Chain A
Amino acid sequence: MFKRLIKGLAVILGIGLLSTHLYAQEGHPLKGSWIGEWTGNSDHGDFVLIVMDWNGEEVTGMINPGTDNMEIENVDLDPSNWSVEISAGGHTIEATIENLELPSRSLAGSWSSSNGRGAFEIVRQ
């Protein structure tokens, strides 16, 4: 019941973010709000929402803001192949930016933590 409530709140938050980030984003490719799934995550559920920003030196942000609130601790981006590694709340996400040229680009790969691992895919909103 509680998880369902959390998921519902996250969806509402996601829709709210959607309404404010509909314009194209031609700056840093990770900046923006991303929604998708980290499949099989028993700690946080399959649904994941990530908000990232770029200050010129590092990518900052949060996973599941307003619900699980995991602050992003580190992001490494390799522009030579657009691979990304995100560390937050005991999770490591290894993914690659796909469809870089699109505002609705995606980040696909895998997640892992001490409690499991699985597929990961989010789409920029």
Chain B
Amino acid sequence: MKVFNIIQPRHLLILVLTLSGFSITHAHHPIHGKFDPADQIEFSGIVSKVDWRNPHVHVFVNVINGNDQVNWAVEMENPNILIANNWDENSLLPGDAINVSGIRARDGSRQIWGENVRLADTGRAVYTISDTSPQKPLASRPVPRWSEDNLPALGAVPGGVSGLWSYPTSTALVEDGVSVEMDAYGQLQNIGDAAQVAPMQDWALARYINRQERNLRDDPMYLDCKPPGGPRQYQSDLGLQLIEDKKNDRIFVLLGSGNRNFRIIHLDGRNQRGLVGGDDDNPLFYGRSTGQWEGDTLVVNTTGFNEGFWFTNGGLPHTDLLTMVEKFTRSNQDTLQYEVTIDDPGAYTRPWTASWELSWVGNTELPFSLCQHNRQ
């Protein structure tokens, strides 16, 4: 599998300089079911213990409150994500004086979701989640192409530099052309906007509102490690790789999120069919996918989904009647345009489309993240 070596050494230099240092950005699941984003607090205290374990790291802090000393639990991301953000097990030690800011637990207990931790004496930031996408080069770099068919390479650039796609410009499904405010987890700023998000049937809208009003706490990806099937696999901060197996006419989608799952897109012209007796005998989390190239765009048809998961951050419902048509276009070396058309007559009144972009992050591999680790 050879590709044109269209990348010059200076391009590689730019690539390494600008795109190295991949850091995972935000939380891997909604935390607003437990913590209230409207209840921002901050305090100072002395670290009494650091509990470095899955699913979440906890830092316990003794805080003087009048004449009393109380202990607060600062809950943070899992060790994988903290390590990717330059935090390690020894970044804080018992006895360190720190300033903490974050959002407080909804139940009023002394728990806070830590968003920012600083050493009290120097003010040095020990931990803060970065939310910036990699800086792209000033000049758009050309799309790498395969030598045998001149089609765009969807994965690693020629020359063996590894990489992945991440930093999605949208992390929740919203119909193209609709403007509603929501956070990175798909939580609406205003529940009154729910009906605008997508053309839902009445029951689907009511169920979506129910999930939103419960602050997404019922998300089966969080509760039960259910895979991020459907478009959700392209909404993750943990990234994905598209590995093209030209010899066997298929593409592997390797996911940094979920349970380190993979999905296969068949390009060999096969028909959609199930494993035994048809198209409905074995509904799947990732469905069954066939694809073909239309010019420089890969068009993928996927059906055969089960109903055991949420197919997007934010909790829009789907049914097993869902057919998903995805279009992948690498518009330049550093940009993957993703478009998905949702055709689900079980939950929506008409087909609808959403689209976003992902950025190429070079010189890195997928982070090793297993949801099951978070259940230990």
Interface residues of A (CB under 8 A from B): 23-29, 31, 54-56, 77, 79-80, 82, 100-102
Contact = CB atoms under 8 A, between A and B. Distances in A.
A82 to B, nearest CB: 7
Interface residues of B, number: 25
B347 interface: yes
Nearest to B311: A26
Interface stretch (B10-18, B86-94, B314-322): B314-322
Contact of A100 (B210, B224, B319): B210
Contacts of A24: 220, 224, 226, 307-309
B223 to A, nearest CB: 9
B306 interface: yes
Closest 10 CB pairs of A and B: A79-B206, A27-B307, A56-B345, A27-B319, A23-B308, A101-B218, A56-B346, A79-B203, A24-B308, A79-B202
A107 B308 CA distance: 20
A101 B211 CA distance: 8
A79 B201 CA distance: 10
A82 B210 CA distance: 11
B346 A25 contact: no
Interface of B: 202-203, 205-207, 210-211, 214, 218, 220, 224, 226, 306-310, 317-321, 345-347
Nearest to B283: A23
Contacts of A29: 203, 207
A82 B205 CA distance: 12
Query: Is chain A's binding surface mostly helix, strand, loop or mixed?
Result: loop
A24 B318 CA distance: 13
21 contacts: A24-B308, A24-B309, A25-B308, A26-B308, A26-B317, A27-B307, A27-B317, A27-B320, A27-B346, A28-B347, A29-B207, A31-B307, A55-B321, A55-B346, A79-B207, A80-B206, A100-B207, A100-B210, A101-B214, A101-B218, A102-B218
A23 B283 CA distance: 12
A89 to B, nearest CB: 25
A26 B307 contact: yes
A28 B310 contact: no
A56 B308 CA distance: 17
Contacts of B207: 29, 79, 100
Nearest to B206: A79
Contact of A27 (B206, B214, B218, B318): B318
- For B210, B224, B319, the residue with the greatest tally of chain A CB atoms inside 10 Å of its CB is B319
Contacts of B321: 55-56
